[in-house]
A = this chain, B = another copy of it.
Amino acid sequence: MSNSPYIMRPIGIVRSPRDEAIDDNWGDVVSQIELCDDVPIESLAGIEDFSHAEIIYVFDRVTPDKITSGARHPRGNSAWPLVGIFAQRAKNRPNRLGSTMVRILGREGRTLKVLALDAIDGTPVLDIKPVMNEFLPRETVHQPAWSHELMSDYWRTNDDGPC
């Protein structure tokens, strides 16, 4: 079994009003993804015909000592069960990959404007894929209660009241 590493180069960078890792309230964050200089503008041709894109990025501010490869309480909250890093979406994970589906707001040349990307300013982007209905789950999605609790304020916007 080959265990050789793969070298990934950023294809873009996130420009976001957020510059620190905050757990919640990503719902109304508008970001720009700027292509790296060596990526041709044609790579984005036709993306505006899709409503959503999947952004694969690196949690580059996570230092190696913070990475968990075993189990942990999500957000360090002992009220939630001890679950494996691959049963949660926390940033402190092997390879530090993030993957989020965002709304496409528009494109201007080499810049893609998106809504609700949960990546901070300066985050390196490794891939952009169009969201297709056919690639979403084709059966009902089930998940444990703790994950609903964890996500309750994740996309909350600043306009949402506390009730």
Chain A residues in the interface with B (C-beta under 8 A)? 1-11, 13, 36-40, 42-47, 49-54, 56, 58, 60, 69-71, 81-89, 93-97, 99-101, 103, 122, 124, 126-144, 147-148, 151, 154-155
Q: Which of B13, B46, B49, B53 contacts A1 (CB 8 A)?
A: B13
Decide if A135 touches B101 in the complex (CB within 8 Å): yes
Given contacts A9-B3, A44-B84, A50-B143, contact A154 B134 (CB under 8 A): yes
User: How many copies make up the complex?
Assistant: 2
Contacting A5 at CB < 8 Å: which of B9, B83, B103, B129? Answer: B9
A7 touches B9 (CB 8 A): no
Q: A9-B95, A129-B99, A132-B151 are in contact. Are A86 and B47 (CB under 8 A)?
A: yes
